[in-house]
Amino acid sequence: MKLADAWEKPSFPVNGNDLAKLGLEKGKAVGEVLARLEEEWVASDFSLKRDALLERAAAMISSAG
């Protein structure tokens, strides 16, 4: 129980500014991509690193455009 009590969720390493640098325009799509990325990050037990998440974001953006 001590481990569970002391555990803190890591800080999500990607934000809207990162997505803008990848070419995504401000708006609803930013929140949608961030939400999908965060779901994948949580599903990976927080093991996906910033670079991997940004690669995934770039793929999402290019497939949507």
pLDDT tens digit sequence for 48-63: 999 999 999 999 999 8
- pLDDT of 65: 63
Taking CA atoms, 48 is separated from 10, 26, 36, 65, in Å, by 11, 24, 13, 24
* Listed residue (19, 24, 30) closest to 54, CA to CA: 19
Residue with more model confidence, 25 or 7 = 25
pLDDT tens digit sequence for 35-46: 999 999 999 999
List helix spans (H) across the chain. 2-6, 16-21, 28-43, 50-64
Q: Are 57 and 22 in contact (CB under 8 A)?
A: yes
